[in-house]
Structure formats: C-alpha cells, structure tokens
Structure 1
Amino acid sequence: MLILDHLALSATTLAEGVEAVETALGVSLATGGEHPLMSTHNRLLGLGDVYLEVIAINPDAPRPPHPRWFDLDHFSGRPRLTNWVLACDDLDTALAHLPQGVGAPTDLARGDLRWRMAIPPDGRLPFAGAHPAVIEWQGPHPAQRLPDSGIRLTQFEVITPDAAALQGLQNDPRVTIIQGATLAMRATFSTPHGPRILE
C-alpha cells in the first residue's frame, strides 16, 4: 500500500511560495536545497510524519534538456498546492499497478538524501496532475530531520473530475478524494494559531 509522503506547493519563485506559506500558517519554513537534474529548488516544513514542500524553478540553474517535474515549466499564477506524493518500499512494483503516465523510475539525490521517483516524460502526472507522484526513499527521510513546527496536517482534499480513478491508492484517513468539475487541492492544518488552510 502506498502511504502519504508529502504535499507540494508550487510557485513562480521560491521566495513568493515561502511567503505565502509562512503567512498562511504563521511559521517559518526550514531550509531545503537544489535539485540539479530538474533545475528546481525548495524549502520544507515538517508536519510530523509528513512534510510540506515549497518548490519553484531555480533561476540560477541552467534549463534542463527535459521537462521539469510537477509540470513546473507551465506553472503560473499564485502559489498553490499542485501535487501530492505517495511513498512505497518498491517503486518498480508499485508502478506495475499504476497508470503508465505516472512516469519512469529515476534516481535522485540532494545532499546526502537519496531517493527514486517516478517522473513523467512530459512532466505531467495523469488526470491533469491529480494523480499522486510516487517516491521510494533510500535512506533518511526528510521529515525525520526537519524541526518540529508544531503544525500537523489534519485533512488533504483532492477535487478532480477523475475521483473514481484515484480511489483506493492509499488509505490515509486524512486524504479525501472528491468529485468536482476542475482540479483543486486543499489542505487543512492544526497550528498553534488554530486551524489554517492552504489551497
């Protein structure tokens, strides 16, 4: 069974995404790093067993010869939740039971973190991005290293016309797949300041 690993909030610039999250949740994000293969960079927020990733194109890195993950090459507008990521113990086995468009296993690294992730060849996950990305960690997990923010994910909603196709992928009680006309994602958090929402 796949388990919830993290949520991704995309932004046109990392600074803009960080400001949006810190304003919404009332907390400072931890450092992140760069992803040379994708020419992206991120900042992170520990949520206990999972984490929130703010990700954007790195303007100081050369454009890669392939599409960036999370369809960042076509991202525009306000910072917002765009993707969710499920973890597994065996990526190859997991992919054998998922749509082909979820992507090809790719070895990645950032600092001493090592992982394999399915990356679609065009950067776009199935069902207009509603399908989760899938990851297999090989060693430490970021959530184990992040400072405890005192914030916890209480609910994550994926609203999509393809809700039926996403049912049964995981059984986290915090995740709800909702039938809707257009894709949207919404996360509710418990914080020291009361419930807060990111969309």
Structure 2
Amino acid sequence: MAEIDHIVVGARTLEEGADYIEAQLGVRPTKGGSHPGIGTHNMLLSLGPQQYLEVIAVDPGQETPPHPRPFDLDDAGVSMMLEAGPRLLGWVARTPVLDAVVTRLGASQAGEVKAWSRGELTWRMAMPPQRQDMRNLIPSLIQWDDGKGAAPRLKKSGCKLLALEAEHPEADQLREQLLQRGLEDALKVRRSPHPRLLARIARPDGAEVALSSG
C-alpha cells in the first residue's frame, strides 16, 4: 500500500523558498542538506508524523550533474516559473515494494530506481519520465531503507497536510495511473482544462492555506 510521503516546493534558492513557506504557513523550514551528485539541496518542514514538505533548489555548491535534476528543475519552463516565485512542483509517495511496482509498470512509466543518500538517511527512488508524469501529478515513488524516512525525525511544526488534490483534463487516465500504484485514495482528482496540484495545509493557528502548482 502506497501513501503520501511528502510534497515538493521548488525555488530559485533555498532562502527564497524558506521565506515563501514562512509567509504562507507561519513556520520556517529547517535545514535539510545537500544531495551529492544530484545537484540539489533542500529544507524540510513537518506536516504531521508521517508527512512533510520539502523545499528544493539547485545547489550552487555542486557541479552541474550529468543527468537532469529532479522535479524538472532544469526545465526552461520551470526555471522561468520559479523566477516569479516558489511554487508547488509535485509530490512523492512512499511504498514498501518499490521494485515490484517499477517492474510491473516498467521504467518507461515509473522511471528507473536510483539510490539516494543525505547524512544518515538512505533511500531509493523512481521518478516517472517527464512525458509520463502528467505534469507532475503522478508522483515519484520512494522506499526508505529504514522503513520510516525523514518525517518522524523532524521537529513538530504545528502544520498538517489536510488534503492533496489534482486537476487534469484527462482525469480518468490520472485515476487509473494512481490506481496502478496503489494510490487511488491518496488524493482527490477532478477534471479541469488546466493540470494543477493543490495541497491544503492547516497552519499552527488553525487557518487553512492552499499551495498550488499553477
């Protein structure tokens, strides 16, 4: 059974991303770290005992990697969008059977499984190719080596992910893709002319904020 692990907010710099999240949610993300060889670094914010928010940006301290950075950070359109300000880019789903899912779907749909690490955390991840991700509405899949991941390690923020929603003109196809990954109940899907991911989050003061990809 797969479930939501975290949502991903992209930014030109981590400072810009942290400022944005603090303005929206009233809490500043804490330092995460660098992803060696991947070309990115991040900051994190707890959204509950099993979920969190990741702010990700290009790491200026690393050389340009030989492969595209995750979450389309090297895409010209995404770069232009982030010039205007941080934006919700996508989400990641946690599964205990990553290899089985990728084998069943094939790398052309689910992506190739790659090992990642940061500090004491190690995990494996498969990111669907850009042409197969339905504008980042189909999530990357992650399997944490310790079975728990980053969320339980984070300090409580008082924020909580209330719901994750997706809009797409081919809503039935999106639902089928989520079903194939065991995620049919993970988010609400609606038909809309414009693809969009929407995360509804409760702030520590009880107010609800919606972060959107578009």
* Correspondence 1:83-102 to 2 at 5 A: 83-98=90-105, 100-102=108-110
Q: How far, CA to CA, are the matches of 1:157 and 1:10 in structure 2?
A: 18
Q: SS of the counterpart of 2:163?
A: strand
Q: How far, CA to CA, are the matches of 2:131 and 2:122 in structure 1?
A: 23
Return the letter of the residue paired with 1:133. S
The number of residue pairs the alignment matches comes to 197
- In structure 2, stretches of 5+ residues that fail to align are none
Q: SS of the counterpart of 2:105?
A: coil
**Percent of aligned pairs with the same amino acid:** 38
The question of 1:14 aligning with 2:14 is answered yes
Asked if the contact 2:33/2:118 (under 8 Å) is kept, the reply is yes
- Aligned CA RMSD, in angstroms, stands at 1.8
* Correspondence 1:174-185 to 2 at 5 A: 175-185=187-197
Q: SS of the counterpart of 2:173?
A: helix
Number of the residue aligned with 1:58 = 59
The question of 1:195 aligning with 2:202 is answered no
Displacement of 1:172: 4.1
Closer/same/farther in 2, CA of residues 15 and 144 from structure 1, 3 Å limit: same
Q: How far, CA to CA, are the matches of 1:123 and 1:58 in structure 2?
A: 21
Number of the residue aligned with 1:159 = 167
| Higher helix proportion (structure 1 or 2) | 2
Q: How far, CA to CA, are the matches of 1:59 and 1:147 in structure 2?
A: 27
* Correspondence 1:79-158 to 2 at 5 A: 79-98=86-105, 100-120=108-128, 126-139=133-146, 140-158=148-166
For each residue in 1:75-100, what CA deviation from the matched residue of structure 2 results, as whole angstroms up to 9, or x when unmatched? 22221111111111121101134362
For normalisation by structure 1, the TM-score amounts to 0.91
For each residue in 1:81-126, what CA deviation from the matched residue of structure 2 results, as whole angstroms up to 9, or x when unmatched? 1111111112110113436232100011100101000135x66652
Closer/same/farther in 2, CA of residues 162 and 96 from structure 1, 3 Å limit: farther
For each residue in 1:44-68, what CA deviation from the matched residue of structure 2 results, as whole angstroms up to 9, or x when unmatched? 0011120000101111210001111
For each residue in 1:137-182, what CA deviation from the matched residue of structure 2 results, as whole angstroms up to 9, or x when unmatched? 1014111110001111111111122322232241446x21222222
For normalisation by structure 2, the TM-score amounts to 0.85
Asked if the contact 2:168/2:196 (under 8 Å) is kept, the reply is yes
Q: How far, CA to CA, are the matches of 2:194 and 2:137 in structure 1?
A: 10
Closer/same/farther in 2, CA of residues 18 and 152 from structure 1, 3 Å limit: same
Displacement of 1:188: 1.1
- In structure 1, stretches of 5+ residues that fail to align are none
Asked if the contact 2:166/2:196 (under 8 Å) is kept, the reply is yes
Asked if the contact 1:6/1:84 (under 8 Å) is kept, the reply is yes
Q: How far, CA to CA, are the matches of 1:148 and 1:131 in structure 2?
A: 28
